[in-house]
């Protein structure tokens, strides 16, 4: 996988260089943006509700037992905003959107559509990669803001209905607000932005590098998802370390 990291950086660099053309390609950016939203909004909502809920369930009773009920809101709030929502949503989107990008571009590669573009002097990076990368870099952070809110809501719901905790909604959110700062949410969203770029770059690169017919498309999709997830988790550590300062 790491043999083509250089190629991925190069692809990202070229796409960045083409960024001024994004306005011209805005129609395609919007199409991709709405496709991402359409494909993942419901999943994001469900997943983040249950992530917040299970976190509350795992930590809450233990904290209440030790006389720290006021820590529940803060712990759920911080964990969801800084870590769980960004990473889980990025992994979800890698599976849902990254795979689709690799498959679509890969099949265009295999069926010579990309060659056809090149014979018309249409740069595949401008035409295919740029709109996808811009769209995912815009959409994923927005989805994560939503995921954070719903995750908190899920945590609060469980904290209230679980009889080991029975922390009222308002108290949960009061505790949450005293511990979570806007900076925490911003850090989470910033990480997500980086993850979005990883997913977009890895998936488009895999798509463009597809060789060998329909089986090659399958291989590209798998690689796009697996490599995205590995890089997301690695960069999560690196970025978290940097953002702590």
State the residues that interact with another protein by CB under 8 A: 104, 107-108, 111-113, 115-122, 127
Helical residues (DSSP H) of the chain, grouped into ranges: 5-17, 26-65, 71-78, 85-93, 99-110, 113-119, 124, 130-161, 169-179, 182-208, 213-243
Q: Closest CB to another protein among 105 and 194?
A: 105
Gap between the Cα atoms of 20 and 14, Å rounded: 12
Q: How far is the CB of 43 from another protein (least distance, A)?
A: 23
Q: Closest CB to another protein among 19 and 122?
A: 122
Q: How far is the CB of 207 from another protein (least distance, A)?
A: 13
Phi, psi dihedrals of residue 70, rounded to the nearest 5°: -75, -10
Q: Closest CB to another protein among 38 and 119?
A: 119
Angstrom CA distances, 34 to 27, 89, 100, 123, 177, stand at 11, 17, 14, 23, 32
Q: Closest CB to another protein among 70 and 123?
A: 123
Q: How far is the CB of 95 from another protein (least distance, A)?
A: 22
Q: How far is the CB of 112 from another protein (least distance, A)?
A: 4
Q: Closest CB to another protein among 127 and 172?
A: 127
Angstrom CA distances, 71 to 5, 38, 177, stand at 42, 36, 11
Angstrom CA distances, 211 to 11, 110, 118, 178, 215, stand at 18, 7, 17, 54, 9
Q: How far is the CB of 120 from another protein (least distance, A)?
A: 5
Residues 6+ apart with CB under 8 A from 75: 55, 59, 63, 179
Q: How far is the CB of 132 from another protein (least distance, A)?
A: 13
Q: Closest CB to another protein among 82 and 109?
A: 109
Residues 6+ apart with CB under 8 A from 44: 89, 92, 143, 146, 147, 150
């Amino acid at each position: 996988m790491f043999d083509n990291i250089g190629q991925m950086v190069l692809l990202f660099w070229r796409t960045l260089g083409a960024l001024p053309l994004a306005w011209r390609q805005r129609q395609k950016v919007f199409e991709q943006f709405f496709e991402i939203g359409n494909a993942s909004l419901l999943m994001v909502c469900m997943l983040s509700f249950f992530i917040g809920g299970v976190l509350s369930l795992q930590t809450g009773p233990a904290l209440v037992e030790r006389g720290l009920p006021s820590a529940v809101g803060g712990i759920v709030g911080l964990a969801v905003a800084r870590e769980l929502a960004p990473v889980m949503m990025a992994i979800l989107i890698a599976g849902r959107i990254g795979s689709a990008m690799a498959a679509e571009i890969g099949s265009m590669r295999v069926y010579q559509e990309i060659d056809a573009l090149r014979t018309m002097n249409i740069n595949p990076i401008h035409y295919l990669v740029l709109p996808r990368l811009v769209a995912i870099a815009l959409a994923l952070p927005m989805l994560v803001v939503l995921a954070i809110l719903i995750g908190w809501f899920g945590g609060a719901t469980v904290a209230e209905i679980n009889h080991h905790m029975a922390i009222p909604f308002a108290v949960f959110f009061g505790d949450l607000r005293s511990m979570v700062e806007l900076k925490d949410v911003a850090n989470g969203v910033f990480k997500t932005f980086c993850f979005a770029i990883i997913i977009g770059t890895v998936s488009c690169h895999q798509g463009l590098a597809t060789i060998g017919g329909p089986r090659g498309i399958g291989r590209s999709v798998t690689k796009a998802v697996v490599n995205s997830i590995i890089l997301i988790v690695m960069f999560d550590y690196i970025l978290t370390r940097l953002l702590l300062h």
